[in-house]
């Protein structure tokens, strides 16, 4: 469970994305993961942000409600929504019909994070409601670095050094790691001849 703070001090509890639900079969794109995520108010979502989760009130706090298919935001005030009457927009229309004074509130009270497409309705959220996103800049970086077939791996390397104290061992370790890596690099190097054959 991660706890992701908002700039104003509130926070969102974010569990790992489900792995036992077919709807969540696809990993996040471009090698992104929840470590790349931040929490922002819906009104602060910008075009290109990757929306990973909306939020629910749970146990006296906010908890992430993961989107099975994260989407890139194309935010706009609901008053500027371009859909042709999806069920989400119809629900807001019903809300305003109950009290016509509410019409003036729509523009600041709600934001459309992404307009309807095909059978998918608009994603509409209260403007002050926290959502979990990967910022557009980070998405662009990850997309530029993404190479098909590559996956992210964590490689941990340790060394043993002789020292009189823990502090001295920490000072000696980097040089030992560099020396070991030089040896490894030398043993893994492949020479290629002028004919293109490995030697």
pLDDT tens across 94-131, in order? 767 666 666 667 777 889 999 888 778 889 999 999 99
pLDDT for position 65? 93
In the chain, which ranges are E strands?
Answer: 2-5, 11-14, 38-41, 50-58, 61-72, 76-77, 110-114, 123-126, 130-134
For residue 190, what pLDDT band results from cuts at 50, 70 and 90?
Answer: very low
For residue 178, what pLDDT band results from cuts at 50, 70 and 90?
Answer: confident
Average pLDDT value for the chain: 81
Closest to 139 in 3D by CA, of 33, 11, 13: 33
pLDDT for position 199? 47
User: Is the confidence at residue 198, as pLDDT, over 50?
Assistant: no
pLDDT for position 145? 86
Return the percent helix, strand and coil in the chain, to nearest 5: 35, 25, 40
pLDDT tens across 135-146, in order? 999 999 999 887
pLDDT for position 156? 67
For residue 148, what pLDDT band results from cuts at 50, 70 and 90?
Answer: low
Q: What's the full length of the chain, in residues?
A: 199
Domain range summary for the chain, segments of one domain joined by +: 2-145, 155-199
User: Is the confidence at residue 62, as pLDDT, over 60?
Assistant: yes
φ and ψ of 82, to 5 deg: -100, 5
Closest to 110 in 3D by CA, of 158, 13, 42: 42
Choose between 192 and 157: higher pLDDT.
157
First to last CA, the chain: 50
CA pair distance 76, 78, nearest whole angstrom: 6
Give kind and range of the element (H or E) at residue 13. Answer: strand 11-14
pTM exceeds 0.85 for this model:
no
Share of the chain above pLDDT 90, in %: 33
Q: Hey, what are 108's tokens?
A: 């600041």
CA pair distance 129, 125, nearest whole angstrom: 7
pLDDT for position 192? 44
How many Cβ atoms sit within 10 Å of the Cβ of residue 31? 15
Closest to 125 in 3D by CA, of 37, 56, 69, 63: 56
Helix (H, G, I), strand (E, B) or coil at 49: coil
For residue 193, what pLDDT band results from cuts at 50, 70 and 90?
Answer: very low
User: Is the confidence at residue 167, as pLDDT, over 80?
Assistant: no
Alpha-carbon 191 to chain mean position = 41
């Amino acid at each position: 469970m991660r706890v992701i703070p908002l700039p104003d001090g509130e926070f969102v509890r974010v569990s790992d994305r489900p792995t036992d639900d077919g709807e969540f079969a696809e990993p996040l794109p471009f090698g992104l993961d929840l470590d790349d995520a931040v929490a922002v108010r819906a009104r602060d979502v910008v075009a290109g942000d990757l929306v990973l989760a909306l939020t629910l009130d749970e146990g006296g706090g906010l908890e992430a409600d993961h989107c099975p298919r994260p989407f890139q935001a194309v935010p706009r005030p609901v008053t500027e929504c371009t859909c042709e009457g999806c069920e989400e927009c119809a629900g807001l229309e019903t809300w305003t019909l109950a009290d016509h004074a509410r019409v003036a509130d729509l523009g600041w009270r709600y934001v459309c994070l992404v307009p309807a497409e095909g059978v998918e309705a608009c994603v509409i959220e209260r403007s002050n409601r926290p959502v979990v996103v990967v910022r557009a800049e980070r998405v662009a970086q990850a997309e530029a670095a993404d190479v098909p077939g590559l996956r992210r791996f964590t490689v941990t390397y340790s060394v043993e050094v002789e020292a009189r104290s823990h502090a001295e061992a920490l000072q000696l370790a980097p040089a030992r790691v560099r020396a070991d890596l030089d040896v490894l690099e030398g043993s893994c190097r492949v020479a290629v001849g002028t004919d293109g054959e490995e030697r």
